[in-house]
Chains A and B, each alone.
Chain A
Amino acid sequence: MSASAQEIENLIGQEYKDGFVTELEVDTFPPGLDEEVIAKLSAIKGEPAFMLEYRLKAFRHWQTMPEPNWAQLNIEPIDYQAISYYSAPKKDADKPQSLDEVDPVLLDTYKKLGIPLDEQERLAGVAVDAVFDSVSVATTFKGKLKDAGVIFCPISEALQEYPELVRQYLGTVVPETDNFFAALNAAVFTDGSFVYIPKGVRCPMELSTYFRINAANTGQFERTLIIADADSHVSYLEGCTAPMRDENQLHAAVVELVALDNAEIKYSTVQNWYPGDENGVGGIYNFVTKRAECRGANSKVSWTQVETGSAITWKYPSCVLLGDHSVGEFYSVALTNNYQQADTGTKMIHIGKNTRSTIIAKGISAGRSQNTYRGLVKVAKSAENARNYTQCDSLLVGDKCGAHTFPYVEVKQPSAQVEHEATTSKISEDQLFFCQQRGLSAEDAVSMIVNGFCKTVFKELPMEFAVEAQALLGISLEGSVG
């Protein structure tokens, strides 16, 4: 027992490996937020006039909104005036045209993170858009994607080159009045990715965005908009890291997905923002609004997320199943350790006929962390033959942590079938004993059991991400049972 307790200490105590700071000249706004800041931000970005209006509308609405407090989270009050709302690497003033022009220091950063930004490496042929603090610094494989007709670029660029397309979809899935953090994001978002897959196109490679917060006292507000036109298919990956800092940093992102007839979007996230140290000091406050609309018949959206980072995670990737026969999926592993808090889950709103949704959520809590699943399955009267299956499992590691499940099920259609199951337990002593009796160390045994516990979710991840996710879990948890 004591030996494995020692192992827990060691393993839980592992340092955050992405916690370095990149020394870089940056252009940062002084902290504070008012209409002037928003106007200045919009001007720097050279945005079309409708965007400034949109932002100001969102900002004015945001000022009237109270901060949400319903989540199972204990949040230190956030001073929104103490945050800088824009930070960009200085050399980005005139945008780099190719990788050669990107600051080598930046490229180094991404190399440290193991991101295949350099086209020469061509690892797995993934096209990457990298967002550093508030701006997108480089996008790879642009040419090849263009040949296929796929638009994949920073959203700031899309606003200049395809303003009408952006205008048509921006804010239609997550309106600027949706919630406190979505409104804030709409007012101040600086960059993010924009993807448009034209009719009948199967995106030739996986698209990926890496987000990194670098500068101190800044917030990151990115906005992702993905549109899959009829009969198209795209798989999109998202990764996030940040340096170790003693103060909490705010990250409030909005992701909007639109799937038209027969289109399919697969959205995978490995979220590894800095979680704070073992005493709960520092870490990212992660408030994210992610929502997909399956507008077309037979459309499909699949969310897969592995959440291991952030001091606070507040995130509910959702699917609005409007089109008949549309499908929504949500696969999630949320791991919390030390003083991390996560309140995460999904919403499946069934509106169209014969819509189906699957929710598999696995929560692992260790240390003194609190891990909450919060989900809604809503079947509207119009959703004949809707089908939902939900499974939420929680694994507790240590006796100081908490695991909570708050599902909401609202059904107005008798032909709907909704099932919800949830279990909470600790790692089985029998399983541990069996593995050890077969010659595995306690540490390997726990790692194996936890990976087995998460397997149904990991198998939904694209290959490269699955490897990364398993490694992440390993770092945070291996052997942490006594």
Chain B
Amino acid sequence: MSAELKTSQYSAAYAGMKENLPGQSLAWLQALRANAAQQFADSGFPSLRDEEWRYTNVAAIEKKLFVPAADRTEVNAEILAEVQAQLLDGVWAIVLVDGHFSTQLSRLEGLPDGVVVVDMAAALEQHSDSLEAYFAQAVSDTENGFVAFNNAWFSDGVFMHVPANQVLAKPVQILHVATQAGFMANTRHIMALESSAQATVVETFVGCHDSYCSASVTEVFVGQNANLTLYKVQMEGEKAYHFGGTYVKQARDSHFQHHNFAFGALLARSDVHTDLEMAAECDLNGLCVGSKRQHIDNHTRINHLQPYASSRELYKNVLDQRARAVFQGRVWVAEQAQKTDSDMHNRNLLLSADAEVDTKPQLEIYADDVKCAHGVTVGQLDEKSIFYLQSRCMDTDSARNMLTFAFANEMVDKVKLKNLHDKVLQQLLLRFPQAGIQQDWL
């Protein structure tokens, strides 16, 4: 007990860094940061005692003491090559290297008038008034230690604002690159779509082979009748620690689609929370392909606050070797949220004797005229399907490959952007659990 209550060593280590953080001149931000720092000093990073974290132990992050990159990282040829490999064609791109915006690598030319896509440090100077209205409105410091920590010490991030009725012709890609061992990239993002606006955002996380920590918190505001599609492709290095929190507020009749691909990191935790107002719709999809000793935790929460909203959710996990996946999904329906329609599914495929899955789909319902369902399956490949393929002259390995691939590919096929779809598919094949996957039937 006493060990848990010990103040995190991060509080002391980060205390002296305040002056280097952006937004020094903003009183509201300073107050917010001070409160968050206090909250973090009280709570620290989450522990297993925390019901929302009972299957995910982040003690290693506390022990390692990752430090922030003091200044902008020099862009060398290696980084340049990595960025070029990851950037999609035909997008507005904003690149964050070790938690700092890189002007050199970002491509933001030709944004329509009134559309803001800018790094957070700059936004705090140019758009501080509109930021103040959004900051910490979708998530509070008490959510968990990572959010408090982020509020207190975020170094940069992205502010995106799309005015009413504006439809973005091209997607916006936010590329996070981690280049150095022992670094912590702590980024804060705000995405706001005014009424009837429409946008697609791709978040990509990549990093080096050493141990580092990437923590990002995103607040999303989808205005009335607006439509946001958010893709997250997490391909962190194999020794990386990743925390990604996406907290969404959806206004009346809005649409939000989230596609969450988790391929990399040693320990990854992803939170997606959304609040639905009248007749809003959300669609949350997730795929995790884990192997070795990876631990991947996906956490979703859908709050139906008002009537007629609907939510769909499907998360799939494919686990090999000693990988462990955690899924926690919660659908909460308020007393007045009649006519709610909600459906949540979690499917898990265990390929090895040492893999493990812990899943907790939850329904909390206070209204009566609702249609809510959830389902979980944990299992292995269907023997009958394997037999059928074998009877069609396919060897066992190929049959297993094909079935495993089909299981995972359902999620990849939901990606509407062609070039992103190809990239994700390539990632899937790269990390495919069985060796020698035949591609002629792809």
CB–CB B351/A422 < 8 A? no
CB–CB A402/B372 < 8 A? no
CB–CB A418/B368 < 8 A? no
Whole-angstrom distance between the alpha carbons of A426 and B378 in the complex? Answer: 29
Whole-angstrom distance between the alpha carbons of A26 and B371 in the complex? Answer: 52
Near A by CB (< 8 A), chain B positions 318-375 give: 335, 338, 348, 350-375
10 nearest CB pairs, A to B = A414-B350, A396-B368, A420-B376, A418-B378, A405-B363, A424-B372, A402-B366, A417-B379, A399-B368, A409-B359
A252 within 8 A of B: no
CB–CB B379/A425 < 8 A? no
What residues on A are CB-neighbors of B362 within 8 Å?
Answer: 404-407
What residues on B are CB-neighbors of A379 within 8 Å?
Answer: 378
What residues on B are CB-neighbors of A381 within 8 Å?
Answer: 353-354
CB–CB A420/B375 < 8 A? yes
A241 within 8 A of B: no
Whole-angstrom distance between the alpha carbons of A400 and B372 in the complex? Answer: 17
Per-residue interface assignment for chain A, residues 108 to 143, with 1 indicating a CB less than 8 Å from any chain B CB and 0 otherwise: 000000000000000000000000000000000000
| CB-CB under 8 A for A422 and B358, given A399-B335, A399-B367, A411-B348 | no
CB–CB A418/B377 < 8 A? yes
CB–CB B378/A415 < 8 A? no
What residues on A are CB-neighbors of B376 within 8 Å?
Answer: 407, 409, 418-420
What residues on B are CB-neighbors of A400 within 8 Å?
Answer: 335
What residues on B are CB-neighbors of A422 within 8 Å?
Answer: 361, 363, 373-375
Whole-angstrom distance between the alpha carbons of A119 and B378 in the complex? Answer: 51
Per-residue interface assignment for chain A, residues 418 to 437, with 1 indicating a CB less than 8 Å from any chain B CB and 0 otherwise: 11111111100000000000
- Return the contact of B365 from the options A414, A416, A424 (Cβ within 8 A): A424
A408 within 8 A of B: yes
A286 within 8 A of B: no
CB–CB A426/B368 < 8 A? yes
Interface size band for B = 35 or more
What residues on A are CB-neighbors of B367 within 8 Å?
Answer: 396, 399
CB–CB B374/A410 < 8 A? no
What residues on A are CB-neighbors of B350 within 8 Å?
Answer: 411, 413-414, 416
What residues on B are CB-neighbors of A406 within 8 Å?
Answer: 360, 362
B51 within 8 A of A: yes
CB proximity of A422 to chain B, nearest CB, Å: 5
| CB-CB under 8 A for A396 and B377, given A406-B360, A409-B359 | no
Closest A residue, CB atoms, query B375: A421
Question: Which residues in B have some Cβ–Cβ distance to A below 8 Å?
Answer: 51, 55, 335, 338, 348, 350-380
CB–CB A396/B365 < 8 A? yes
CB–CB A414/B353 < 8 A? yes
What residues on B are CB-neighbors of A402 within 8 Å?
Answer: 364-366
CB–CB A426/B366 < 8 A? no
CB–CB A404/B360 < 8 A? no
What residues on B are CB-neighbors of A397 within 8 Å?
Answer: 368
CB–CB A414/B369 < 8 A? no
- Return the contact of A409 from the options B338, B358, B363 (Cβ within 8 A): B358
What residues on A are CB-neighbors of B351 within 8 Å?
Answer: 414
Chain A interface mostly: strand
Total A-B Cβ pairs within 8 A: 115
Closest A residue, CB atoms, query B364: A404
What residues on B are CB-neighbors of A408 within 8 Å?
Answer: 358-360
Whole-angstrom distance between the alpha carbons of A130 and B378 in the complex? Answer: 44
A394 within 8 A of B: yes
What residues on B are CB-neighbors of A419 within 8 Å?
Answer: 375-378
Whole-angstrom distance between the alpha carbons of A72 and B366 in the complex? Answer: 13
A50 within 8 A of B: no
A401 within 8 A of B: yes
Whole-angstrom distance between the alpha carbons of A423 and B341 in the complex? Answer: 11
Query: Which among B353, B358, B376 has the highest number of chain A CB atoms within 10 Å?
Result: B376
Whole-angstrom distance between the alpha carbons of A249 and B358 in the complex? Answer: 37
Closest B residue, CB atoms, query A402: B366
- Return the contact of B363 from the options A401, A415, A418, A424 (Cβ within 8 A): A424
What residues on A are CB-neighbors of B370 within 8 Å?
Answer: 396, 424-426
Whole-angstrom distance between the alpha carbons of A422 and B335 in the complex? Answer: 20
Whole-angstrom distance between the alpha carbons of A400 and B335 in the complex? Answer: 7
CB–CB A409/B378 < 8 A? yes
Closest A residue, CB atoms, query B369: A426
- Return the contact of A399 from the options B55, B353, B363, B369 (Cβ within 8 A): B369
A167 within 8 A of B: no
What residues on B are CB-neighbors of A40 within 8 Å?
Answer: none
What residues on B are CB-neighbors of A409 within 8 Å?
Answer: 357-360, 376, 378
Can you name 12 A-B pairs with beta carbons within 8 Å? A405-B361, A406-B362, A407-B360, A410-B356, A410-B357, A411-B350, A411-B378, A417-B377, A419-B377, A421-B373, A424-B373, A425-B372
Near B by CB (< 8 A), chain A positions 383-403 give: 394, 396-403
What residues on B are CB-neighbors of A411 within 8 Å?
Answer: 348, 350, 356-358, 378
Per-residue interface assignment for chain A, residues 253 to 281, with 1 indicating a CB less than 8 Å from any chain B CB and 0 otherwise: 00000000000000000000000000000
CB proximity of B379 to chain A, nearest CB, Å: 4
What residues on A are CB-neighbors of B373 within 8 Å?
Answer: 421-424
Closest A residue, CB atoms, query B340: A424
A17 within 8 A of B: no
Whole-angstrom distance between the alpha carbons of A416 and B379 in the complex? Answer: 6
A412 within 8 A of B: yes
CB proximity of A268 to chain B, nearest CB, Å: 27
CB proximity of B212 to chain A, nearest CB, Å: 30
